[in-house]
Copies of this chain bind each other. A is one copy, B any other.
Amino acid sequence: MKSLLVFDAAMRSKSFSLAADELCVTPGAIGQQIHKLEEWLGVTLFIRHVRQIQPTEAALSYWQKIQPALEQIADASTRLKHSRGMAVLLSMPPSFAAKWFTRRMANLLTRHPGIELHLNASSVIVDFEREAVDLAIRYFNGRDTRLDATLMFNDEVRVFCTLEYAEARLLNTPDALAGASLLVTSVQPYWTQWLSRFSRLDAGTVAGIPRIHFDQALMAIEAAKQGHGVVLASPHLTEDEVSGQALIEPFAGCLHLDNGYYIVQHNKIALSPAAMLVKQWLIEEAGEKVPDNPGSSLHRATSC
């Protein structure tokens, strides 16, 4: 097989010496490799003149067949080596992508300009053995034996609504939620627990509060912005809204959850260097503290 590369070089350069230069070996090595290939094939490939070689008809026709194949192999290898080197495939839930990642992505690309990021926003759990995904951000309890899971942050949920909605519904205490609409997401269906913890409402009253259900946090947050109710959501997903005062936290109660956002990868597939950079960056960005909302005019109970 090595002799095929030698043969290719010799055909292209029409000289054992030039082929030797190209392959960084001595002309003697080239001569020996060609001789070995001729013996293996049982065919003379080059007519040797003094200081000169000339390919035979057999060599020309053989080369026509194998040269594209060798080029295909070299090309496929190069592409795999290189594209793999800088491409990173990152999967994450759509809400997390839209609300947390997108606002930080420019920072990632500034800090690591050569990285070719492929982003997959999907709620479907990644199967690393079937999909060409390097890393994923997954919202779960961190326990899966097939994966290496690195915690970005534990989750917690807080209450958000517009200032107008809070004023109109007189949301001065959690008990006032009895007269509000509750916006619920599939991912964080914890209103009952929150009210049980932070209000004095009995279970019957809690069960009677109207609810609107959403399968994506993103949409529930949008509904809250439209004044349709109060949403129980992760503060990581409402940063933009809170800092722009589109949403406020009417109460200070935050409910800590068992789940969290984890960076996950297959525990038996090595990360490429570029993927390692992205992972490190994610860890660093996750370590930034979620800020309290300094602009809120409503009183709140003791913080978490």
- Taking CB as reference atom, which chain B residue is nearest A49? B268
Report whether B272 and A43 are in contact in the complex, using a CB–CB cutoff of 8 Å: yes
With a cutoff of 8 Å between Cβ atoms, the chain B residues found around residue A70 in the complex are 69, 73
Q: Which of A72, A73, A81, A131 has the most CB of B within 10 A?
A: A73
Report whether A268 and B48 are in contact in the complex, using a CB–CB cutoff of 8 Å: yes
With a cutoff of 8 Å between Cβ atoms, the chain B residues found around residue A40 in the complex are 81
With a cutoff of 8 Å between Cβ atoms, the chain B residues found around residue A5 in the complex are 1
Q: In the assembled complex, how far is the CB of residue A237 from the closest CB belonging to chain B, in whole angstroms?
A: 30
Interface string of A61-73 (1 = CB under 8 A from B): 1100110111011
Stretch at the interface among A22-30, A51-59, A154-162, A180-188: A51-59
Give Cα A72–Cα B65 distance, bound, in whole angstroms: 7
With a cutoff of 8 Å between Cβ atoms, the chain B residues found around residue A85 in the complex are 42
A296 in contact (CB, < 8 A): no
- Taking CB as reference atom, which chain B residue is nearest A57? B132
Q: In the assembled complex, how far is the CB of residue A262 from the closest CB belonging to chain B, in whole angstroms?
A: 20
Contact among B1, B47, B131, B272 for A268, CB-based, below 8 A? B47
Give Cα A196–Cα B272 distance, bound, in whole angstroms: 93
Contact among B72, B75, B129 for A47, CB-based, below 8 A? B129
Majority SS at the chain A contact face: helix
Copies in the complex: 2
Give Cα A269–Cα B49 distance, bound, in whole angstroms: 11
Give Cα A58–Cα B128 distance, bound, in whole angstroms: 11
A130 touching B73 in the complex, CB below 8 Å, given contacts A2-B1, A81-B43: no
A41 touching B84 in the complex, CB below 8 Å, given contacts A1-B1, A47-B268: yes
With a cutoff of 8 Å between Cβ atoms, the chain B residues found around residue A72 in the complex are 65-66, 68-69
A266 in contact (CB, < 8 A): yes
With a cutoff of 8 Å between Cβ atoms, the chain B residues found around residue A266 in the complex are 47
Report whether B66 and A73 are in contact in the complex, using a CB–CB cutoff of 8 Å: yes
Interface string of A257-280 (1 = CB under 8 A from B): 000000000101110110000000
A168 in contact (CB, < 8 A): no
Give Cα A80–Cα B4 distance, bound, in whole angstroms: 14
Report whether A44 and B4 are in contact in the complex, using a CB–CB cutoff of 8 Å: no
A-B contact pairs, 9 of them (CB 8 A): A4-B73, A42-B273, A44-B268, A47-B129, A54-B129, A56-B129, A65-B72, A68-B69, A69-B69
